[in-house]
Amino acid sequence: MKNHPLLSPKPLPFTFDDWIKEPFAKRITMLCVAWTTQGYGAPILIYAFYLFKILLYIAGWFFSCSFSNAFIGATQIIHWWFAPEALEKFLLWSILFEVLGLGCGSGPLTARYFPPFTAALHFARPGTIKMPLFPKIPFLGSDTRNWFDVLLYLALLFLLVKNLIAPQLTPEMLVPVIALVIILGVLDKTIFLAARSEHYLIALFCFLFVGDEIAGLKFVWLAIWWGAATSKLNKHFPTVVGVMLSNHAVLRWNWFKKKLYKNYPTDLRPGQLTNVLAHISTFVEYAFPLLLIFGDGGTLTTFALVNMFIFHLYITSSVPMGVPLEWNVIMVYGAFVLFGANANISMLSLHSPVLIAVLFFSLLIIPLLGNLFPQWISFLLSMRYYAGNWAYSIWLFKGDSEEKLNSSLIKSCPTVMHQLDKFYDEKTARLLFSKVIAFRAMHLHGRALQLLVPKAVNDIELYQWRDGELIGGIVLGWNFGDGHLHNEQLLNSIQKRCKFESGELRCIFVESQPIHQLHMDWRIVDAKDGEIEKGRISIKELIDLQPY
């Protein structure tokens, strides 16, 4: 299986031997230049893997709908696929798909090479690390998964499957599912986020209110679109567009990719074309959902739905890192159900005070607080989707000290280099893995690292650079861009078990930019000695910097 032609990444414009001779900063620059035209460089078989996963996702929903008495039959999809209960089944299936680890944060593009799906293996295994919501409260704050946690997780899987094969769904059947996701979220934030609760759980909650569910769901979909659009009103998003299009699965025009940057290959900041595309994306997420509100199911509605379909297809076809592909599928499907087939139901028809209060709190207050005070609330709950303004971390392991993660922790997979060893020789694996550094450096927030790394360690050549996103995925079983899952809380849990010596593990934690301020806060922490230094960097300073 090692070095199989179908698994070979795109060849870089330099050899490993030439690359490794260069100083660290030069090596990162070489990787960033390579990223502009080839992205991560994943082999075509990887994209086939993700396409198959989307088909599996749709097939699973189709299969669950075949059990419903309200539908004429699986072969008569035209008669039922826009029914509210079909969307209800899709939401339940989406939660199951995600908490099993089959959706976001799965497969090779999230550094899951073998096994490609790890969440279920981790969440169902006693002794693994978890991230409690209240770490200082006895029992609830334990960071070690026990049999009670495992049984609750298995109970959630059982209830989801039971509802999916049920001939008819009732509000009473949804209550235990919603309650279990919330309880599991208190015991382990990772599972709550993996369930994409800011979307699927709130949407499922709407089905508890018969007669109000469609109007409530319209608010959920609208909040997600407008929340995502609002999060793009920053200086970060153009770099996201450039990085994503450079990594596009279908787009192969190198001349076009080079135009995304100011002056390839010497100036890799976003060019005019990238800024225009960023503005268009923001406009689409604001304008066309607005048309859906006022549409009556006719030409205006069709026009808006087609544009939103193209928009989500554009995102999906780029196969962005983190791979939120299935989420884009249900967003499009839900749009057609809610604003197309049920265009006659006004959002203003919502009358349940309980549902109104929950939607107001979860769709407005939480995202607002999350954008004003990003250090306290996940970017997912803040609806700050793929806008580049994420908290993140870099973990620097001295020498071979990273091996302590393999020897001291109970987890569902080994560290990434050990996974890559099954498929590639050492030189190919090191180059491929180093592309992750380029991915981070190419974003606006990543430019801070060239200033922070020298503060963290005296000689970077003595350390192994690991993105915290990958550490979180290995140690917690799931990851999807949330830097709060690999902050000091996770570091403390790891340190209890691995006992790194002073200087063996240094972490750089960078927080998101508050929506009303032009800075990002950072902290440098030693695993044993604690916080070494903290500070603040201005967005204006980052704009003037190259990726590295």
């929506």: which residue's tokens? 515
Question: What ranges do the domains of the chain cover?
Answer: 392-543
User: pLDDT at residue 542 above 90?
Assistant: yes
The per-residue pLDDT for 72 is 60
* 285: number of Cβ within 10 Å: 22
Decide which of 481 and 498 is more confident: 498
pLDDT tens digits along 18-50: 999 999 999 999 999 999 999 888 888 888 999
Q: Percent of the chain at pLDDT above 90?
A: 85
When the pLDDT of each residue in the chain is averaged and rounded to a whole number, the result is 94
The Cα–Cα gap between 437 and 15 comes to 17
The Cα–Cα gap between 105 and 282 comes to 24
User: pLDDT at residue 71 above 80?
Assistant: no
CA 279 to chain centre: 22
Residue type, 346: S
DSSP string, 77-116: GGGTTTSHHHHHHHHHHHHHHHHTTSSTT-SGGGT--SSS
The per-residue pLDDT for 5 is 63
* 384: number of Cβ within 10 Å: 29
pLDDT tens digits along 202-254: 999 999 999 999 999 999 999 999 999 999 999 999 999 999 999 988 888 99
pLDDT band at 318 (very low <50, low <70, confident <90, very high): confident
The DSSP 8-state label assigned to residue 198 in this structure reads: I
Averaged pLDDT for residues 4-24: 85
Total number of residues shown for the chain = 548
Name the E strands within 131-241.
Answer: none
CB 538 within 8 A of CB 447: no
CB 65 within 8 A of CB 468: no
pLDDT band at 548 (very low <50, low <70, confident <90, very high): confident
The per-residue pLDDT for 423 is 87
Instruction: Tell me the pTM.
Output: 0.95
User: pLDDT at residue 520 above 80?
Assistant: yes
CB 243 within 8 A of CB 224: no
Averaged pLDDT for residues 476-499: 96
The per-residue pLDDT for 327 is 95
User: pLDDT at residue 75 above 70?
Assistant: no
pLDDT tens digits along 253-267: 999 999 999 999 999
The Cα–Cα gap between 113 and 117 comes to 9
The Cα–Cα gap between 523 and 436 comes to 21
Question: Which tokens is 337 given?
Answer: 């159900």
Give the lowest-confidence range in 191-200, 420-429, 465-474: 420-429
Whose CA is closest to 396, among 207, 525, 260? 525
User: pLDDT at residue 1 above 80?
Assistant: no
Name the 3-class secondary structure at 459: coil
CB 477 within 8 A of CB 497: no
Averaged pLDDT for residues 131-139: 94
The per-residue pLDDT for 6 is 65
The per-residue pLDDT for 320 is 83
Give the lowest-confidence range in 269-278, 419-428, 433-442: 419-428
Residue type, 282: T
The Cα–Cα gap between 209 and 386 comes to 31
Q: Which helix (H) or strand (E) holds 530?
A: strand 530-538
